[in-house]
Structure 1
């Protein structure tokens, strides 16, 4: 039984505002109630043990999906190897043959506003919600925010394709940036909409602000979704996006630039037996320089510069069995849960490395390579991938960080099968923190050519990323 505080969050439209406009569907004498109605006491079992925000988002999406598709909602078996299929779509999007939809909506296109969803955090009046999102230092618990972003993005994606029978899959998170420290006791507003659409993929932009109209935003995030045929798992064409305002056109053009940059990055990825491109050669040259700088640490550690450290010495890990309470609406492990656990490990890694409580600035390039199932043994491995001891430029949008030491932490999630002694990477995460009370930190150097290439690739990617938007 839900507490009164949770029930208030689940039912009051004044607290959580959603912009789904269609009426409930009556099917075979049974009414599917709007999730904002008090009569609906049977939310999906997967919403239990989730935050009130995620509960409401999933309940709304489940209601909308059943209203549109009736008994055609996706079954568990339809989501087998979905993440791998999404990866294939992103890799082959330029050349794959997309099947067009017969829907007139798909032909006409939709505006960004039609996918818009908003929700409020009434921190000033709801003590339970405030306690849920507060960290030990009385500030915002960003891991919980990551869960909400993942849940909201799914609702937004569904709004855009609503009316067409497609499978929507999270392909990755491009960037989440923090503009300023939020005030935990002040009401906050999370909202977002589709900002760019390709042939079978879409980009979703979400912001959190202290104003309901979206001004004074302090967080910006971009998620990428792909659409697949539920039966064949092949890419399927979705309705185009029709920007209406100047701001929407700017975001659309930015999405197109980023999509093109991803294609170039995939083509330039170093592969055995494939000639190096100019960009790949630049990565190799920089990797060689990093490995050369690590020479004293590798060969004569007692004589090496004490301000340097090998990457291996920064590593940490934890392991867990994926529990049913962490599953999503499709009975796979909730991507937001994975992001939260990865963030918490990355935060701890940066904390132990820098000796200063780290300041979270951004997360880049979260990939969903393989789905995680209930019962999987999940091993999270973290390490400091690179540091900028004298500071760096992450763009003017990111909160003031001039001159602060920067720490980039890589987290890998491995689905491990001890019975067969096998393990596969399910997710990659890259978090950037600042050390606000330190003037410098140790330089992290690679132990081998593989680490050197990963370090060089991330350094170059982050430099490019900082220049995409101020």
Structure 2
């Protein structure tokens, strides 16, 4: 089995290394070009795209699912954490487990990527009742449901990595695992079907002192072979049993050259995230090119002859950003909770994705195709019974692509206040050229620049042409 897992890790080592090659692009991209023109990418033939590792067909029929079904995974997590079944607004205290939480990394044995490798099946081919949850109104697979499963599965992968020596049988794992963010999610050309089994596989790809990066990929059995649908990177935080402070986890030691390559690229991804934070528009002003871009958009929307700066004119083929949005309110229930009585991150991901798709549909008048998901941030936990306000906005368009952000906020109906809990960025495409989104205010202009950066980064283009 370890030999099979080594083969699987080799197949994904190049993929992870390719992802890490983005490195400091978000920072470096401000000054130099990285890839060929966007038009070249757009005109890429199907034959060229088939050479991308995300589109390669894999046949790993030697293993089906080491952890059983996703239902089994959920039950195993509850059992390992020592949690109660069923909903109770007053959870049992886990404070007694604090004594078992390791205080330093020296107490924990190192682990390899093979130790954390695991897989699980969503049995859509045989479970007709389950299939109803995964089918969309057009008969296609609901990607939002899969996002929920991937989030839960990432937690299960971390469970395989963490090993506390001398933990007596019957003592629950003295940790709490929380999703911090979800990195770039790409999709292949494979259209998922709601009546064929789906396999989730994953392993730990990088480990910090208290954080764990997990790679998760989805495959569906088609014509007797497992074909990749998507791949995502989750960054998880390890916390103590009461979720009060950070907790150390087992260090990751590569077992071979392939694992070393993945681990090194994980370190590069960490540095990339740090570099991106330095260029956050909340901390730094737009660069010279972006400042000129904002000014050009302003000039485009006024009558330069009259010099009436307060009168804005919408150019032909354009849409005001304030008119390219869609909102809804979600009331969360106990069935939407995670194991710690907080709203499950996957639940929020699903609703954000489906709202973004609805906005893309209404904006373009075409059914949009999801190309990428990027920069999903979990800022604050959401309590059960919260009113969740979700606001979707088209931030940027280029040719037939659009960048959409969804902001999730907890809404207090008594005071009317809102507190941001999550942000999600989605890239969609349609068959026709889209109208240009035009900001009216400086606040919208900064959001426009942010959307443009996200889009060009995800498409591997230079922010400054």
Report the TM-score range of the alignment, normalised by the length of the smaller protein.
0.7 to 0.9
Q: Does 2:328 correspond to 1:314?
A: no
Q: RMSD between aligned alpha carbons?
A: 3.1
Report 1 or 2 for greater relative contact order, CA contacts < 8 Å, sequence distance ≥ 6. Answer: 2
2:270 to 259, 263, 268: 259
Shift of 1:121: 2.9
Q: Does 2:319 correspond to 1:337?
A: no
With over 3 angstroms needed to count, the CA separation of the structure-2 counterparts of 1:56 and 1:350, relative to structure 1, is same
The aligned residue for residue 385 of structure 2 is 375
The aligned residue for residue 153 of structure 2 is 152
- Contact 2:176/2:241 (<8 A) preserved: yes
1:424 to 391, 416, 419: 419
Separation of aligned partners in 1, 2:454 and 2:258: 26
Secondary structure of 1:210 counterpart? strand
Q: Deviations over 1:271-311 (max 9, x none)?
A: 57xxx4xxx542x6415513531444466988542211121
Q: Does 2:104 correspond to 1:100?
A: yes
With over 3 angstroms needed to count, the CA separation of the structure-2 counterparts of 1:349 and 1:232, relative to structure 1, is closer
Separation of aligned partners in 1, 2:158 and 2:372: 23
The aligned residue for residue 185 of structure 2 is 176
User: Which aligned pairs between 1:190-205 and structure 2 lie closer than 5 A?
Assistant: 190-205=200-215
The aligned residue for residue 130 of structure 2 is 129
Q: Deviations over 1:99-136 (max 9, x none)?
A: 51453xx2x31111211221123333333333321112
Gaps of 5+ in 2: 1-61, 84-89, 96-101, 165-172, 303-308
User: Which aligned pairs between 1:386-425 and structure 2 lie closer than 5 A?
Assistant: 386-389=396-399, 405-425=400-420
Shift of 1:357: 0.4
- Contact 2:186/2:373 (<8 A) preserved: yes
1:241 to 233, 252, 257: 252
Secondary structure of 2:293 counterpart? helix
Q: Does 2:358 correspond to 1:363?
A: no
- Contact 1:191/1:207 (<8 A) preserved: yes
2:296 to 292, 295, 311: 292
- Contact 2:151/2:346 (<8 A) preserved: yes
Secondary structure of 1:361 counterpart? strand
1:446 to 422, 428, 439: 439
- Contact 1:194/1:202 (<8 A) preserved: yes
Secondary structure of 2:233 counterpart? strand
Q: Deviations over 1:163-209 (max 9, x none)?
A: 27333211011121101233414332111111111222111101112
Shift of 1:234: 3.4
Q: Deviations over 1:296-340 (max 9, x none)?
A: 446698854221112111111001222222111111111111111
Q: Does 2:366 correspond to 1:351?
A: no
Separation of aligned partners in 2, 1:466 and 1:250: 24
With over 3 angstroms needed to count, the CA separation of the structure-2 counterparts of 1:126 and 1:100, relative to structure 1, is same
Separation of aligned partners in 2, 1:379 and 1:77: 31
With over 3 angstroms needed to count, the CA separation of the structure-2 counterparts of 1:64 and 1:432, relative to structure 1, is same
With over 3 angstroms needed to count, the CA separation of the structure-2 counterparts of 1:77 and 1:319, relative to structure 1, is farther
TM-score (structure 2 length as normaliser): 0.72
**Count of residue pairs the alignment pairs up:** 372
1:434 to 384, 405, 429: 429
- Contact 1:291/1:449 (<8 A) preserved: no
